[in-house]
């Protein structure tokens, strides 16, 4: 179950125990200091909703997606679009000046699009792996 779906709704005593166990485990792994773990455990005891539990547990190192992985698909798509527009403008200028309408920009459009789609798919694959317990972090 993903980190965002663990807690959603009213809090039961079992939910509090599970959250406290996660915090203790994170403390034992060195992710939280003693003071931080104590502060989070106090938040767990006073939590009345699962959203409050989610805040108390917080994100752990394995739950956070690196910013570079999040931004890569947008950057790849923007570069592909920019390069494609430049190639189409050059192609139109060559076609208007010389009358040669050879369809060479298709390679840039298709090849770059496939590369941008591959980057997007890699990011989605990483997200799915992170949502499987025990696999991504």
pTM of the complete model: 0.53
Contacts of 69 (CB under 8 A, 6+ apart): 123, 126
CA-nearest of 14, 2, 12, 8 to 55 is 8
Residue 40 tokens, joined: 């989070």
Taking only the tens of pLDDT, the chain with its 137 residues reads: 444 445 445 788 998 999 999 899 988 988 888 998 999 999 999 888 877 887 788 755 555 567 788 889 999 999 999 999 999 999 999 999 999 999 999 999 999 999 999 999 998 888 787 766 554 44
Q: Are the C-beta atoms of residues 34 and 95 closer than 8 Å to each other?
A: no
């Amino acid at each position: 179950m993903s980190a965002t779906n663990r807690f959603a709704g009213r809090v039961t005593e079992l939910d509090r125990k599970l959250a406290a166990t996660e915090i203790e485990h994170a403390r034992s792994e060195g992710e939280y200091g003693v003071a931080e773990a104590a502060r989070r455990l106090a938040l767990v005891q006073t939590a009345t909703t699962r959203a409050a539990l989610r805040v108390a547990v917080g994100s752990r190192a394995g739950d956070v997606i690196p910013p570079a992985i999040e931004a890569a698909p947008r950057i790849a798509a923007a570069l592909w679009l920019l390069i494609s527009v430049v190639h189409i403008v050059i192609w139109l200028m060559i076609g208007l000046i010389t009358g040669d309408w050879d369809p060479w920009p298709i390679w840039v459009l298709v090849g770059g699009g496939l590369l941008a789609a591959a980057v997007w798919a890699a990011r989605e694959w990483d997200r799915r792996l992170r949502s499987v317990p025990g696999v991504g972090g």
